[in-house]
């Protein structure tokens, strides 16, 4: 971009040509397999991630290799099975990359180096039950990768609501900027939490349930229909989206 701007200042190109070149520089294309938005972090505050599920392994490996060769940012690979992670580790382990894999969240972070930075804020993450933890962990990895500290409290659903109130007090004491709440079955927990706190609540319906609740649709509808103010709802099992939205809230100041 600096080279393009210097050429613009020197009169070698006009403003329209500079805009075209800058836009072209925003995309990394890997042999028609993928087109990476390399400037997404500058524009949207969070880097692009690779969704591994349903991709051919050879394509996934090519994307990772090319990205790490051409970009200095960390790479996030989501919905990556343990088997595929082990294959990637075998195929790329000889490189000087740092691999951090969360088995429950099925997320891999690939780093060129580890840089310790102080947390910019705190974000709360809660689940109704232990069956929702894998989605909460997906959100936690994203929140921490975005520079925040995650304050977690799992298995505090309304089936034993007495468990919830000490955890809400803890979130308040920790001065969290937002709370991500993951729940399946009837999806009640986000509404209860939103009625007790003065920070945004990000509701994540999970595909935990049976009968009419199978697949998470009942939880989704319940969260969308909540009468408690201050709730935003993401898609079923979308821990990644909840984490990014929490970071958007934190970075909005």
Structure confidence at residue 123 (pLDDT)? 97
- Strands 98-102 and 231-233: what pairing? unpaired
Output phi, psi for 120, to 5 deg: -85, -20
Does the 28-111 domain belong in CATH 3.30.1370? yes
Which pTM value belongs to this model?
A: 0.83
CB 215 within 8 A of CB 207: yes
Q: Which CATH code is given to the segment(s) 122-250?
A: 3.40.50.1970
What Å distances lie between residue 24 and 14, 17, 35, 71, 227, CA to CA?
A: 16, 11, 11, 16, 46
Question: Please, which residues bridge with residue 125 across strands?
Answer: 152, 180
Q: What pLDDT shows up at residue 37?
A: 64
Whose CA is closest to 134, among 155, 116, 115?
155
* Helix segments in the chain, DSSP class H: 2-9, 15-25, 40-44, 57-70, 82-92, 133-145, 164-173, 189-194, 217-224, 239-250
Asked if the model's pLDDT at residue 205 lies above 80, the reply is: yes
Least confident of 44-48, 56-60, 137-141: 44-48
Residue 52 has pLDDT above 60, yes or no: yes
pLDDT at 19 over 80: no
Task: Give the start-to-end residue ranges of the domains of the chain.
Answer: 28-111, 122-250
**Strand partners of residue 203:** 181, 233
């Amino acid at each position: 971009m600096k080279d393009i701007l210097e050429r613009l200042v020197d009169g070698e190109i006009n403003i329209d040509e500079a805009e075209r070149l800058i836009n072209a520089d925003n995309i990394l294309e890997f042999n028609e397999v993928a087109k990476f938005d390399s400037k997404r972090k500058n524009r949207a505050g969070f880097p692009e991630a690779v969704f591994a599920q349903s991709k051919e392994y050879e394509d996934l490996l090519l994307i990772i290799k090319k990205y790490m060769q051409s970009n200095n940012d960390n790479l996030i690979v989501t919905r990556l099975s343990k088997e595929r992670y082990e294959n990637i580790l075998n195929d790329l382990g000889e490189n000087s990359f740092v691999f951090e894999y969360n088995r429950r969240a099925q997320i891999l972070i690939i780093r060129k180096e580890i840089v310790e930075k102080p947390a910019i804020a705190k974000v709360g993450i809660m689940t109704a039950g232990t069956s929702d933890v894998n989605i909460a962990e997906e959100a936690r990895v994203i929140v921490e990768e975005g520079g925040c500290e995650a304050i977690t409290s799992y298995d505090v659903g309304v089936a034993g609501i007495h468990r919830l109130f000490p955890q809400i007090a803890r979130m308040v004491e920790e001065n969290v900027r937002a709370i991500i709440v993951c729940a399946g079955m009837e999806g009640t927990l986000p509404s209860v939490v939103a009625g007790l706190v003065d920070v945004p609540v990000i509701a994540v319906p999970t595909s935990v349930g049976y009968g009419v609740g199978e697949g998470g649709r009942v939880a989704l509808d319940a969260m969308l229909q909540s009468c408690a103010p201050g709730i935003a709802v993401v898609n079923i099992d979308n821990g990644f989206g909840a984490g990014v939205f929490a970071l958007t809230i934190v970075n909005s100041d």
